[in-house]
Amino acid sequence: MNTETQSLSVTEIAEKTREAARKLAGLSHEDRNQALGAIAQALATDSEEIIKANKIDCETAEREGISTPLYNRLKLGKTKLEATIKGVKDVIYLADPIGHISIDRELDENLILKRVSCPLGVLGIIFEARPEALIQITSLAIKSGNGVILKGGREATKSCQTLVKIIQKALINTKVSPDVVQLLTTREEIRTLLDLEEYIDLIIPRGSNDFVRFIQQNTNINVLGHADGICHLYVDKKANLEKATSITVDAKTQYPAACNAIETLLVHQDIAAEFLPKIAEKAREYNIQLKGDELTQNYIEIEAATEEDWKTEYSDLILSIKTVKSLEEAIAHINVYGSKHTDAIVSEDKKSAEIFMNQVDAAGVYHNCSTRFADGFRYGFGAEVGISTQKMPPRGPVGLEGLVTYKYQVTGDGHIAATYSGDNAKPFTHKNLS
């Protein structure tokens, strides 16, 4: 928590952030971009201080026996910091997500309806011990006109405090109030935050599946995120097996810890005898541990898969395999065990692909390509705020547009509803203006 807000309660901090965010909502794109420029500048100027604070975090974490991958995420050296500062400048060049008009309609003469995109208000973002995430999130929040209350992983506390202090200081000389960016540092504060429906408009939790699930189940505030990433690849009887093999290897091994990596391979029995030995061979080559259901065990030597396997996100070089009798069985399996993230079919039969893409209930349904493409940058969104496995939009990889909502603006010249009702009701024109 920064010095100024040290004695404030979470509710008071949230109230203050909301107030500042309301003013931010009225600023121009230029004003918001100027604030981002000031932040980039300040981070560059004070980079030594940042690196020093991060060193203290790293040393503490090392003493506490942090794992190497987590240490690498925590560490914020000169190169990573410079790349992140460049990232802030890139955000300046993204299109303004605010003020987009999606409906522009004359209801009657001089009575105009517009649907205009606007900021959500205040975001609550809980992220892992990765200090540069704080910088990325803050720049996307300001770009989209939102206030942001941040809570970083415990191990990064000192780094986060230093970054927020520098960002707030940089904002003093801009039109954006320093109050739009706030830091929480304890778990108890998160608990309180989850109850502040009145002040917080969206929670974005990042981190372990259990953590995201905890957040989803303990707040009435909208949550953008995904607890699990149980993705499937179904290899149809009409699949080109060369493509199928290469996609399987890519979707499993290119980054096994990613949420868009596959956990289960579904294989049509008509091609199982030819395809499964190829996969067994690749598994040896890429060091993938395979687990198969009974039918699969008829074709290759493989450890038995249990019911638990279909529900597991391994996040590792492990792949469960189920041999299915039909496209329908594959779809049914995915709809029961999938996490509605991304599922793919390999098939040269367009009709089967169409049925799969219609009936599989997931944010991403793919045909003849790797599930690993499910990503905001790969989709060309410029930035990724998160991946949502919710049913309602925003769904799937979410760019800046996930941080905005819309308002209906109606402008008249003294128009009243009575004119348009009753026996002599005037009809609406409902003419789209653009």
Of residues 244-283, those binding its own copies (CB under 8 A): 246-247, 249-251, 254-255
Mapping DSSP to helix (H, G, I), strand (E, B) and coil, where does residue 253 land? helix
Q: Please say whether the beta carbons of 182 and 148 come within 8 A.
A: yes
Does 396 help bind its own copies (rule: CB under 8 A)? Answer: yes
Q: Examine residue 416 and tell whether it contacts its own copies (CB under 8 A).
A: yes
Residue type, 173: N
Which residue, 205, 265, 203, 207, is CA-closest to 232?
265
What minimum distance in Å lies between the beta carbon of 329 and its own copies?
14
Residue 321 interacts with its own copies (CB under 8 A): yes or no = no
Closest approach of Cβ 125 to its own copies, in Å? 16
Check residue 264 and report its DSSP letter: E
Looking up tokens 């189940």 gives 217
Q: How far is CA 165 from CA 96, 183, 250, 289, in A?
A: 26, 9, 42, 47
Q: Considering beta carbons, is residue 281 or 328 the nearer one to its own copies?
A: 328
Shortest distance in whole angstroms from residue 403 CB to its own copies? 10
Residue closer to its own copies, measured from CB, 140 or 164: 140
**Which of the ranges 30-38, 203-211, 265-273, 391-399 carries the binding residues for its own copies, by CB under 8 A?**
391-399
Task: Map the footprint of its own copies across residues 66-125, applying CB under 8 A.
Answer: 103, 105, 107, 111, 113, 118, 120-121
In the DSSP assignment, the letter for residue 95 is P
- Could you say whether residue 355 binds its own copies (CB under 8 A)? yes
Among residue numbers 17 through 36, which ones bind its own copies (CB under 8 A)?
A: 22-23, 25-26
**Which residue stretch of 63-71, 87-95, 163-171, 349-357 sits at the interface with its own copies (rule: CB under 8 A)?**
349-357
Single out the residue of 69, 408, 424, 427 in contact with its own copies (rule: CB under 8 A).
Answer: 408
CA pair distance 165, 159, nearest whole angstrom: 10
Site string (357-386) toward its own copies, x via CB under 8 A: xxx-xxxxxxxxxx-xxx---xxx------
- Sign (positive or negative) of CA dihedral 31, 36, 37, 41: positive
**Shortest gap between Cβ of 361 and its own copies (angstroms)?**
7
Nearer to its own copies, 242 or 281 (CB): 242
Provide, rounded to whole angstroms, the least separation between the CB of residue 7 and its own copies.
Answer: 24
How many residues touch its own copies (CB under 8 A)?
75
44 versus 103: smaller Cβ distance to its own copies: 103
Of residues 131-190, those binding its own copies (CB under 8 A): none
Look up residue 249 and give its amino acid: V
Least gap, CB of 107 to its own copies (angstroms): 7
Nearer to its own copies (CB atom), residue 7 or residue 434: 434
Spatial separation of the C-alpha atoms in residues 376 and 262, rounded to whole Å: 18
Tell the smallest beta-carbon distance from residue 390 to its own copies (Å). 8
User: Which long-range contacts (C-beta less than 8 Å, at least 24 apart) are formed by 353-356?
Assistant: 353/236, 355/327, 355/331, 356/234, 356/236, 356/327, 356/330, 356/331
Classify the phi-psi angles of 145: left when phi > 0, otherwise alpha if psi is within -120 to 50, otherwise beta: left
CB of 232 to its own copies, least distance (A): 15
| Size of the chain in residues | 434
Q: How near is the Cβ of 246 to its own copies at its closest, in Å? A: 6
Member of 393, 425, 426, 433 binding its own copies (CB under 8 A): 393
Long-range contacts of 351-360 (CB under 8 A, 24+ apart): 352/236, 352/238, 352/327, 353/236, 355/327, 355/331, 356/234, 356/236, 356/327, 356/330, 356/331, 359/331, 359/335, 360/331, 360/334, 360/335
